[in-house]
Amino acid sequence: TAVDYFIRWNQSPGGREIYGADIAAVAGYLKHAPNDDLPVISAEYYRDLDRFRFKLHFGGEPPFAVWFDGRQSLAFPPPGSGLSPRYIFPASAPAPEQWQSLLAAAPQESGAEYTVYRLPAPESLAALQNQLRPLDVTVSDELVVRGVQIQGDVMAGRKFQLLVFWQALRALPPGTDYTFLAQLRDSAGRVWAQTDGGGFDPVNWQPGLLGLQLLTFRLPGDVPPRPFDLVLQLVDRRSGQPRPTTGGGPDVLLGRVTAGLPDHPPTVDPARLPNPAPPNSTGGDGSGLQLRGYRLDGRQFSVGSPPGVNLYWQVQAQPRQDYRLQFYLTDDAGAVVYRWPPVAPQDGEWPTSGWPAGYWVRDQLDLPVDGNVPAGAFHLRGVWLAEDGSPLPPGFDLGPVNISRQ
């Protein structure tokens, strides 16, 4: 009805967000506020849509403002610059809890659709820095990573946050577009989880500007309880390539963490696993482990390019031994033409006797392809080996592969 559309919908929180009511309120506030400092406006669509909405409220000639995504980023003017920004957080892009303890709220300037903050006292930022793990890594002579803090537990099926403290070294040309990429890598360099973000446009960087970036990891339910390296890169979105550090490589090592195992098994949907297999389709070997899915990094292998293998195990009963895996190739007649040496799952960092019943385990490994591996079309298969080296049939089939010498 007309009442529903023009009154109820118009006044509902969802409707007001869709039509940018909070951005309109910010514009109204700035039209009447003293023009004696720099507006810094948080926005969900800080690069385009929300800026366009804001511009319309000023007849196409809005006041200068710095736009950013305050839900994930925060920046402070260079020390000694004399700048006194006014941070404005609309309802659609509010300040996270971490920022609220750093900024000085200005309730007398705030409205129902937005909250205004001022610069904090210098000791507030200094107190934060004292809580961070100190770093001093320069990236591409453009910024320095000053510190990092892990917030929350690193645990399968849960999320944790990474707070990165950085400082700009110089202004960057128009069109520069960077993002922070953080990865959780095992001892072999395999990526188990990653996240990226960047809510403060590099074109607004100035020498000495201080920035905070909040990155959120959402870990799959099958991440194993083993050590991981936490690595950060500054990636150029235009080229997709990371910027180099002064050490030459792209990685900023933030530290080493050990993932925890939750008290209760995280939920995993077997139907969403790659190449899903029903329960018991690979059972009967006595290991207590069911292969419920797998993924290969392609089916074409060549010498010097080891294929990556991901195996998804459901632990039906806690294994009584520390089993190892052996992979082998068979021809069309089923004859074995090559066997790889046995390998411990999880690179030996989490033996199978520690896999509790009811949990899901993903194992990542690489199969070296050297001159001893025959070329041709084969089937890739695998089997568990007991501690005495005896196989536990029937094993499992990972499908056809083609191996070349090129």
Confidence at residue 346, expressed as pLDDT on a 0 to 100 scale: 97
Confidence at residue 126, expressed as pLDDT on a 0 to 100 scale: 84
Confidence at residue 80, expressed as pLDDT on a 0 to 100 scale: 83
Three-state SS string over 57-78 comes to CCCCCCCCCEEECCCCEEEECC
DSSP structure class, residue 105: E
Kindly compute the dihedral angle of the four CA atoms of residues 331, 335, 339, 342, in this order, to the nearest 10 degrees.
120
Look up the CATH number of domain 270-404: 2.60.40.770
Cα→Cα distances 245→140, 293, 324, 349, 358, Å = 6, 38, 39, 30, 43
DSSP readout, 275-304?
A: S---TTTT--SSSSEEEEEEEES-SEEETT
Cα→Cα distances 67→101, 203, 264, 354, Å = 21, 11, 43, 50
Confidence at residue 73, expressed as pLDDT on a 0 to 100 scale: 98
Cα→Cα distances 362→138, 176, 285, 290, 359, Å = 35, 38, 19, 12, 10
Confidence at residue 17, expressed as pLDDT on a 0 to 100 scale: 53
Q: Which of 164, 149, 148, 172 is nearest to 75 (CA)?
A: 164
Q: Which two tokens stand for residue 125?
A: 């930022």
* CA separation for the pair 266, 68 (Å, rounded): 35
Average pLDDT, 10 consecutive residues per value, the chain (406 residues): 46 54 96 88 94 93 95 94 92 95 93 94 83 96 97 96 98 96 96 97 95 97 95 97 95 96 91 89 77 93 87 96 97 96 97 96 94 93 97 95 87
* CA separation for the pair 385, 322 (Å, rounded): 9
* CA separation for the pair 382, 397 (Å, rounded): 7
Look up the CATH number of domain 132-258: 2.60.40.10
Domain boundaries, the chain: 2-123, 132-258, 270-404
Confidence at residue 279, expressed as pLDDT on a 0 to 100 scale: 82
* CA separation for the pair 142, 166 (Å, rounded): 10
Q: Which segments of 33-146 does DSSP mark as H helices, in order?
A: 49-56, 97-100, 122-131
* CA separation for the pair 151, 99 (Å, rounded): 14
Q: Rounded to 5 degrees, what angle do the CA atoms 153, 196, 14 make? A: 90
Give me the long-range contacts of 276-284 (CB less than 8 A, separation at least 24). Answer: 279/314, 282/394, 282/395, 282/396, 283/316, 284/394
* CA separation for the pair 102, 118 (Å, rounded): 10
Half-sphere exposure (CA, 13 Å, Cβ side) for 143? 27
